[in-house]
Amino acid sequence: MAYDILVNGEDVSTMEVQYAPATTKKYVADRCESLGVEVPDDYEAITSDEE
Model pLDDT for residues 3-47, shown as the tens digit of each residue: 999 999 999 999 998 888 899 999 999 999 999 999 999 999 997
- Rounded Cα–Cα distance for residues 1 and 27 (Å): 26
Residue 36's pLDDT is: 96
- Residue 48's pLDDT band, with cuts at 50, 70 and 90, is low
Return the exposure string of 13-46: e unless at least 16 CB atoms fall within 10 Å of the residue's CB, then b: eeeeeeeeeeeeeeebbeeeeeeeeeeeeeeeee
Task: Specify the pTM.
Answer: 0.53
